[in-house]
Amino acid sequence: MTKTAIAVFSDPSSGSDEALGRLFNALFLTIELKDRGVDVDLIFQGAGARWAAEIVKPDHPAHAAFKAVEDKVRGVCGGCADVFGATEEAEASGLKLVRDKDIPGTTGVLDLSAYVAAGDTLITF
């Protein structure tokens, strides 16, 4: 059975409607696929690692949608969190920091290539 991986790259620190819209669309698609019984992982990658600190806040506009798919969150790219200064906040959020691929110059990243190698669908926001 194939899996769908949804990676959020949008940067909340931009403060743009576009960044928030990308997050919402990633969450909505995760909810829709979960409701259909599709095997789905939600990933926070790149500058998207910064979302971990935001979406766990009960007053954040995307919090309810996040809670609906919290069980589908694979985690936050650890190396990305390091690069974008979001490691402490990601750890405090309770989301898992994933460092399953050694990449030179990083502490390890969430390996998106594993999804591609497995023939899974990779969707980015």
3-state secondary structure of 10: coil
Is 112 in contact with 5 (CB distance < 8 Å)?
yes
* Count of C-beta atoms within a 10 Å radius of residue 54: 18
Closest listed residue to residue 66, CA positions, set 52, 75, 55, 53: 55
* Count of C-beta atoms within a 10 Å radius of residue 119: 8
| HSE-up of residue 100 (Cα within 13 Å, Cβ side) | 11
The predicted model scores a pTM of 0.95
Per-residue pLDDT tens over the stretch 15-56 = 999 999 999 999 999 999 999 999 999 999 999 999 999 999
Domains contained in the chain, number: 1
Q: Return the percentage of the chain with pLDDT > 90, whole number.
A: 98
How would residue 77 be classed by pLDDT, with cut points 50, 70 and 90? Answer: very high
Q: Report the mean per-residue pLDDT for the chain.
A: 97
Q: Can you give the residue range of the structural domain that contains 36?
A: 4-124
How would residue 1 be classed by pLDDT, with cut points 50, 70 and 90? Answer: confident
